[in-house]
Amino acid sequence: MSIDKLLCALFCLAALVSTPVSSASQEVSHERILILHSYGTNFAPFDAFTSGLREEMTRLSPRPLEYFEASLETARFVETSTEGPLAEYLNALFQETGIDLVITVGGPAARFAHARRERLFPNKPLLMTGLAARLVEDMGPIALATARTVSFDLPAVADNILRVLPETKEILVVLGQSSMGSFWVQETQRAFERFTDRVRFTWLHELSVRELEERVSVAGPGTAVFYGTVTVDGGGFPFESDQALQRLRAVSSAPIFGLFDIEVGRGVVGGPVTSIAEAISRATETALRILGGEAPEDIPSQPLAPRLYVYDFRELERWNIGEERLPAGSTVVFRPPSWIERYQELLLFGGVLFALETILVVGLLVQHARRRRAEEEAIALSRRLLTAHEDERGRLGRELHDDVSQRLVRLSMDAGHIEKLLEASPDGAFARTMREDASRLSDDVHALSYRLHPSVLHDLGLADALRTECELFSHREGLSTHVNVTDTPPGFEADGALCLFRIAQEALRNVARHANASRVNVSLERTDGGIQMALKDDGVGFDPERKRDCPSLGLASMRERIQLVHGRLAIESTPGSGTTVLAWVPEGAP
């Protein structure tokens, strides 16, 4: 296989790996973006810039965006002859697929797109990012193109080093040997020329990273290191992400200074740094303006200059650099809190602890008193409401028994007379049906009257009332009911008896509705200074711990009643083993 075919296959693979991160159906209008990398997708600081750019564009764009990515891989192939296979690939890929915007990242990609755009991207807008302003100036006017460039203030970098480290005698300049290496060497030498009478510059761009490690590890006092980004070292080996910086920082015996804010916290001391976030914001704003229809050449290219002085507190401490040496308005990051800041809350808390505790205790006492009064008032109100409720039920029960029930009995008797008169006629059957319906209705009203106002409870006591209720329940539901009750003590109050009776009624209703039981046992006995009622069925049971979709109003009513008489209520149940309701009321219940 020829070298050109091999390189072409490699470039195709690199581009295909960067598959579109967003796709839209044919029915949805979307924009196609080609991002052309200079060094690859994982080389600092371009990796952080590209990732942030795509994220911001996707978030802010009013239309879906489809990304294509390709790389010159100049970090691995310095020779410009390797650009031919990539150009052929891009020409084949986008000959039929339209591109709405070409974004280049880094100087080599900008030069490539500029030189070949008439063939590859004719009449397509071009946005050049991540490159020095000088490179765009050298290209001259470009139609349908604009740039978001960076203007590195290299003299300010050298001045910052001499400001924070006034004893510096030598600055080791670490630059890579990428395709743009010679450009940056010339730029740096020209920028640092004015400082040569104050400090000696040693250029290390021809060294491999291993050799750089050895050199910086033996740097003596009065030495500083300027790190200008290494994508390819002097030995021709590429370094992705910030691997080179991390290796140098681990062995360096001299402080390291850089160019970008994302390097602060990764080993550089700091200084006038370029904000990657601001570069992303500017590039995103420009790209969306172009996609919105604005002509690129009408958007002025304003270089992004360092405006921030940012320092890593840990590096300042490591190299014994006092903050009084920093320029006014500097930002120091990764600063641990001082002793006072760290413990000021504890000190403040300790200072006011006694007062707070005093206020808290007084407040708790007042709150407790208020809460107790509120609870007493709530209990009294609930008792009055419950009493009013029972009184109303009693009134309705008596009304049904004394009036409606009696009238229904009379109606049934009248229907019986009519039945006898019409016994021989065809209407006799109708009269008989009317009499039977009236009789059943009278029985239903009588039963309803009893449930509303169980007079037997007041006349004969709780034990007989429970026996009667269970007999009616057994007759009505067809369930076997066994009752084992003892007489209640003479002093047992009416409210306590009524509470247990109502709980028994509600429990029996629940058995009829949910238990699917065949037998119910009801017992009443004196225990623990009170009366305990137990109602047990042999039904399907349930899990009391399982949260229900809707709360049981019947259970809530039972609990409210038992609380009003200062009693206790317990529900014991197991799936498949039935349910037991235990209600205990003190003998002196109010």
pLDDT in tens, 389-405: 655 665 665 666 566 66
pLDDT greater than 70 at residue 492: no
Note whether 134 and 177 are same-domain residues. Answer: no
User: What domain count does the chain have?
Assistant: 4
pLDDT for residue 341: 72
Residue 26 predicted with pLDDT over 50? no
pLDDT digits (tens, 9 = 90+) for 339-354: 777 777 777 877 778 7
CATH number where 550 lies: 3.30.565.10
424 within domain boundaries = yes
> What's the rounded mean pLDDT across residues 94-109?
85
Same domain, 555 and 502: yes
Last residue in a domain, options 318, 333, 348: 333
User: Tokens 């100036």 label which residue?
Assistant: 137
Please state, rounded to an integer, the average pLDDT across all residues of the chain.
82
132 pLDDT higher than 80: yes
* Rounded Cα–Cα distance for residues 254 and 249 (Å): 9
Residue 449: predicted pLDDT: 62
For 250-293, write each residue's pLDDT tens digit: 999 999 999 999 999 999 999 999 999 999 999 999 999 999 99
Structural domain of 245: 154-273+306-333
Co-location of 318 and 391 in the same domain: no
**Domain co-membership, 368 together with 431:** yes
Residues 183 and 246 both lie in one domain: yes
> Does 386 have pLDDT greater than 50?
yes
pTM of the model: 0.56
Q: What is the DSSP string of 380-423?
A: HHHHHHHHHHHHHHHHHHHHIIIIIHHHHHHHHHHHHHHHHHTT
Q: Say if residue 25 is in the same domain as residue 168.
A: no
Q: The CATH number of the domain where 110 resides is what? A: 3.40.50.2300
What are the pLDDT digits (tens) for 526-538?
Answer: 888 888 999 999 9
The answer to whether position 284 is within a domain reads no
For 202-245, the pLDDT digits (tens) are 999 999 999 999 999 999 899 999 998 888 888 888 888 789 99
Residue 443 pLDDT level (bands cut at 50, 70, 90):
low
Coil, helix or strand for 537?
A: strand
Most confident of 81-95, 312-326, 417-431, 560-574: 312-326
Give residue 19's pLDDT.
Answer: 42
Q: How far is CA 151 from CA 94, 183, 418, in A?
A: 33, 14, 114
Residue 44 per-residue DSSP state: T
Residue type, 116: R
